[in-house]
Amino acid sequence: MTTPNTTPLTYNGYIQQIANMAVLGTQIVNGVYQGVDSYFNTVVPQMLNYAELRIQRDVDLLPSLTSNSYTLSSGANVLQLSVNDFVTIQTVQLNNSGTLTPLIPTSKEYIQNVWGNSGSTGVPQYFAMIGGDLVTGGDVYNNILFGPYANATYPVTVFGTIRTPTLYANSASTPLFTTPTLTTTGNGATATVTFAAQSAAPVAGTLITISGVTPTAYNGTWTVLSSSTTSVTFASSATGTQTAAGTISYASTTANTGTTFISTYLPDLLVQASMIYISQYQRNFLPTSNDPQMPGSYEAQYQALLKGAMIEESRKKFQANAWSAMSPAPVATPARGP
């Protein structure tokens, strides 16, 4: 994997960036940056939702296009897809004994009129999106209608867009021990924790946090020096031996290292969209606010960046000028001849 030619935003980097621009204090808990203001922390998940969803709706991201395989049963004319599989369906491909055939999208009314009963069987040629399932109000399935009814069982490949992963998935710390009762022995610069069961073995350099134990010298976050399936040795200033129940976890490594496509290749859009949302949190949308121009300024910057991002995504898909991958050239506007 090559290093991206951008400055990616990790979750920690994102929180620091937004907090700095919004003039809010931060603190680190279990290796994850948070705001000092607890109210700010409660809006972070929806702030990321706002920013990431807006970017994905505004920019038709090429990496969001993918495919998934299904089976259309013999005698059936409806295929159920999980509502989580795709945001939009683009094409449907049928595998007829090794021959891959793209089906033609049409209206449900056309299919219902031409192939109105299960006796109208054949190799499906058309498809239409007919909405979600009635029982859950579309919360479980999306349905595709085929025409004609399938005269055999066919593998089907559906191509469409998905939601890209959210940066917020990198915000959680991971429990280290399944049993909170521990015995620690310390000798100056290091301390060792032994335990009955371990949920995951952290690598050297990971931050481990122990809290809620006595003496309080054992509370805090330390760097792991070595680990095994039964113990962890970490840097500590604590000494002595004690047995107590406490909360033990190790810091989220993905908060420091994990990124997403948007936070790596569109970090500028991500920050600007987030600042529009945070302006609402800071009540700066009203004429009587401290800075009524703030949300409009971020919106203007977002729109300026969005224009370039949309052109770039079109170029990736050969949907730029004259169906090419070239940047728009104002001087060379007439289309070339054959």
Mean pLDDT computed over 314-324:
81
Kindly report, residue by residue over 14-65, the tens digit of the pLDDT: 999 999 999 999 987 767 889 998 899 999 999 999 999 999 999 989 999 9
Whether 154 and 238 share a structural domain = no
Residue 324 inside a domain? The answer is no
Whether 235 and 154 share a structural domain = no
Q: What is the CATH number of the domain that holds 203?
A: 2.40.30
Mean pLDDT computed over 297-309:
88
Whether 149 and 80 share a structural domain = yes
pLDDT surpasses 60 at 189: no
Hey, which residues does 156 pair with through a beta bridge? 70, 94
Closest of 99, 101, 93, 148 to residue 123, by C-alpha: 148
Q: How far apart are CA 206 and CA 222, in angstroms?
A: 8
Whether 180 and 109 share a structural domain = no
Q: What is the signed CA dihedral for 290, 293, 296, 297, rounded to 10 degrees? A: -110
Q: Which of 130, 161, 192 is the last residue of a domain?
A: 161
pLDDT surpasses 70 at 291: no
pLDDT band, residue 289 (cuts 50/70/90): very low
Domains contained in the chain, number: 3
Whether 264 and 241 share a structural domain = no
pLDDT band, residue 148 (cuts 50/70/90): very high
Q: How far apart are CA 167 and CA 267, in angstroms?
A: 11
pLDDT of residue 155: 97
Give the CA angle between residues 87, 90, 95 to the nearest 5°.
115
Mean pLDDT computed over 225-246:
62
pLDDT of residue 15: 96
Total residues found in the chain within this entry: 338
Mean pLDDT computed over 294-314:
83
pLDDT of residue 286: 52
| Number of Cβ atoms within 10 Å of the Cβ of 66 | 12
Residue 286 inside a domain? The answer is yes
Mean pLDDT computed over 229-241:
62
| Number of Cβ atoms within 10 Å of the Cβ of 35 | 19
Whether 31 and 118 share a structural domain = no
Residue 323 inside a domain? The answer is no
Evaluate whether 129 touches 89 at the Cβ level (below 8 Å): yes
Evaluate whether 186 touches 238 at the Cβ level (below 8 Å): yes
Residue 226 inside a domain? The answer is yes
pLDDT surpasses 80 at 211: no
Domain that holds residue 214: 174-251
Q: If DSSP states are collapsed to H, E and C, what string results for the chain?
A: CCCCCCCCCCHHHHHHHHHHHCCCCEEEECCEEEECCHHHHHHHHHHHHHHHHHHHHHCCCHHHEEEEEEEECCCCCEEEEECCCCCEEEEEEEEECCEEEECEECCHHHHHHHCCCCCCEECCCEEEEEEECCCCCCCCEEEEEEECEECCCEEEEEEEECCCCCHHHHCCCEECECCCEEEEEEECCEEEEECCCECCCCCCCCEEEEECCCCHHHCEEEEEEEECCCEEEEECCCCEEEEEECEEEECCCHHHHCCCHHHHHCHHHHHHHHHHHHHHHCCCCCCCCCCCCHHHHHHHHHHHHHHHHHHHHHHHCCCCHHHCCCCCCHHHCCCCCC
Kindly report, residue by residue over 80-133, the tens digit of the pLDDT: 999 999 999 999 999 999 999 999 999 999 999 999 899 989 999 999 999 988
Evaluate whether 305 touches 282 at the Cβ level (below 8 Å): no
Mean pLDDT computed over 211-238:
67
Residue 16 inside a domain? The answer is no
Q: Which of 251, 281, 301 is the last residue of a domain?
A: 251
* CB proximity list for 40: less than 8 A, separation 6 or greater: 19, 22, 24, 281
Give the CA angle between residues 205, 24, 283 to the nearest 5°.
140
Whether 74 and 88 share a structural domain = yes
Percent of the chain with pLDDT over 90: 48
pLDDT of residue 215: 62
pLDDT band, residue 210 (cuts 50/70/90): low
Evaluate whether 231 touches 187 at the Cβ level (below 8 Å): no
Evaluate whether 94 touches 150 at the Cβ level (below 8 Å): no
Residue 4 inside a domain? The answer is no
pLDDT of residue 180: 45
Q: Which of 221, 251, 281 is the last residue of a domain?
A: 251
Its sign, for the CA torsion 157, 163, 165, 171, is negative
Tell which wins on pLDDT, 256 or 123: 123
pLDDT of residue 308: 86
> Mean pLDDT across the chain, nearest whole number?
82
pLDDT of residue 16: 95
Tell which wins on pLDDT, 44 or 189: 44
Whether 227 and 196 share a structural domain = yes
pLDDT of residue 313: 85
Which has the minimum average pLDDT: 78-92, 232-246, 310-324? 232-246
Whether 245 and 312 share a structural domain = no
Whether 188 and 121 share a structural domain = no
Whether 136 and 80 share a structural domain = yes
Q: How far apart are CA 20 and CA 72, in angstroms?
A: 53
Whether 224 and 267 share a structural domain = no
Given strand 154-161, what is the order of strands in its sheet?
65-72, 154-161, 88-96, 99-102
pLDDT of residue 179: 46
pLDDT of residue 178: 46
pLDDT of residue 212: 63
Residue 181 inside a domain? The answer is yes
pLDDT of residue 51: 97
Q: How far apart are CA 261 and CA 67, in angstroms?
A: 18
Which has the minimum average pLDDT: 100-109, 131-140, 173-182? 173-182
Q: Give the CA count within 13 Å in the CB-facing half-sphere of 329.
A: 10
Residue 70 inside a domain? The answer is yes
